[in-house]
Amino acid sequence: MKVYRDADIDTAVLKDRLVAIIGYGNQGHAHALNLRDSGCRVIVGARENSPSGARAREAGFEVVSYGEAAARGDVVMVSLPDEHIPDVYAAEIAERLRSGTALGFAHGLAVHFGHVVPDAGLDVFLIGPKGAGRWLRAEYEAGRGLACLYAVHQDATGEARAIALAYAAGLGCGRAGIVETSFAEECVSDLFGEQAVLCGGIPALIEAGYRTLVEAGISPEMAYFECLHEAKLIVDLMFEGGPAYMRRAISTTAEYGGYLAGERLVTEETRQEMRRILDDVVSGAFAARLIADTRAGGPELARLRQGQDADIEPVGARIRALMPWLAPKLPDS
Ligand SMILES: NC(=O)c1ccc[n+]([C@@H]2O[C@H](COP(=O)([O-])OP(=O)(O)OC[C@H]3O[C@@H](n4cnc5c(N)ncnc54)[C@H](OP(=O)(O)O)[C@@H]3O)[C@@H](O)[C@H]2O)c1
């Protein structure tokens, strides 16, 4: 694994380049603020009457249309929802980019699966911070940084790598680590991880555990504490020191029972299903389905949202109200 840090990077390559951040959402706002505080000249692209554009203006940025940002930026970061990138890129960005522009993405989906095919005269890079934008910003403000992934898809000018690394350093990621990868590896691992483990596996397991207890007559509050509230403790322990560290920190009863139940829950069948989820990611079938659903107005997403178990939500609100300091609300970013 190749990891770059600030000392390995010459940030002068950004000195005379205008950075245009297209989209001022979760990632975009942190990129714009961190790069500006690192001494870069930054403008923000927003659509008309955009709420996030208004926030960018309040933060003191010059805010222009997506097309103008694409045309003026020497470095153009596309920080929009992945499912909308292909159509916005085709309609507003592609034709406005100048040859030699460095075009950046924070995730590889649109490019890797061929939904965006950048012109051959562009540099194309990826900087994927390993966490949400507010965390990227908070770490930067604290004088630290968040690690990120970096990849180059296309190097038309011979400067793509230098620009991408300087961009990542401007985000503060060089204070932690800038890990070299490819669009393919970033894309596949990110999508698989969020589906099989983070956003698919973990919530499904928590909700199924909660439902099993409630159906067996346990009170919803008890079930919530056991299956959701305490998940934070376990994840925090693994984050701090890995699974073995977590197991040393819990009781022997919990450790022993955990081994037995884990083997029963993650069976060969589960592993087979994980491989099928991975196949759908690698083949591009998932990305195509996401983009097709978005273009159709999101009927499948709406159906999936409807199908979620809503009973757990009011219980969670009651439990969180007991200890509001443990679950502070996210600032609107
Ligand atoms: N979220 C994360 O933690 C994270 C982490 C690493 C990488 N990434 C990557 O970063 C990129 C940006 O993700 P994000 O989470 O920052 O996105 P996001 O917060 O959902 O992006 C919101 C921005 O996109 C604009 N936007 C929303 N829908 C649009 C549409 N249909 N057409 C045009 N503009 C639209 C919004 O403008 P308005 O204000 O006008 O609605 C806003 O400026 C993605 O490639 C993502 O995979 C995200």
* pLDDT, tens digit (0-9, with 9 covering 90-100), for 167-219: 999 999 999 999 999 999 999 999 999 999 999 999 999 999 999 999 999 99
Residue 135, both tokens: 């965390």
Q: How far is the CA of 213 from the CAs of 79, 227, 262, 320, 323, in angstroms?
A: 41, 9, 17, 20, 23
Closest CA to 280 of 202, 188, 179: 188
Is CATH 3.40.50.1820 the right assignment for the domain spanning 3-181? no
Average pLDDT of the segment spanning 104-109: 97
Task: Determine the atom of ligand 1 nearest the C-alpha atom of 49.
Answer: 40
Residue 331 pLDDT class (50, 70, 90 cuts): low
Please state, for a pLDDT cut of 70, what percent of the chain lies above it. Answer: 98
Give the pLDDT of residue 311.
86
Residue 333 has pLDDT above 60, yes or no: no
Tell me the best of 49, 65, 79, 332 to mutate to test the pocket of ligand 1, counting ligand atoms within 8 Å of each CB and taking the most: 79
Residue 329 has pLDDT above 70, yes or no: no
Please state, for a pLDDT cut of 90, what percent of the chain lies above it. Answer: 95
Q: Is 107 a catalytic residue?
A: yes
Give the pLDDT of residue 328.
67
How far does residue 66's CA lie from ligand 1's centre (Å)? Answer: 13
Residue nearest to atom 48 of ligand 1 (CA): 27
Q: Which residues share a beta bridge with 104?
A: 77, 125
Average pLDDT of the segment spanning 236-242: 97
CA atoms of 97 and 216, how far apart (whole Å): 60
Task: Determine the atom of ligand 1 nearest the C-alpha atom of 132.
Answer: 3
Q: How far is the CA of 211 from the CAs of 220, 264, 272, in angstroms?
A: 9, 18, 25
How far does residue 256's CA lie from ligand 1's centre (Å)? Answer: 43
Spatial strand order in the sheet of 62-64: 3-4, 178-180, 148-154, 123-129, 102-105, 75-78, 18-22, 41-45, 62-64
**Dihedral sign (CA 304, 309, 312, 314):** positive
pTM for the model: 0.94
Q: How far is the CA of 232 from the CAs of 202, 227, 283, in angstroms?
A: 11, 10, 34
The domain ranges of the chain are: 3-181, 191-326
CB atoms within 10 A of CB 56: 24
Average pLDDT of the segment spanning 81-103: 98
CA atoms of 14 and 170, how far apart (whole Å): 9
Catalytic residue among 29, 31, 84, 107: 107
Closest CA to 10 of 167, 182, 123, 148: 167
Residue nearest to atom 4 of ligand 1 (CA): 132
Task: Report residues whose beta carbon is within 6 angstroms of any ligand 1 atom.
Answer: 23-28, 46-47, 50-52, 79-82, 84, 88, 105-107, 128-129, 132-133
Tell me the best of 27, 87, 332 to mutate to test the pocket of ligand 1, counting ligand atoms within 8 Å of each CB and taking the most: 27
How far does residue 49's CA lie from ligand 1's centre (Å)? Answer: 16
Residue nearest to atom 30 of ligand 1 (CA): 84
Tell me the best of 22, 26, 198, 295 to mutate to test the pocket of ligand 1, counting ligand atoms within 8 Å of each CB and taking the most: 26
Give the pLDDT of residue 330.
59
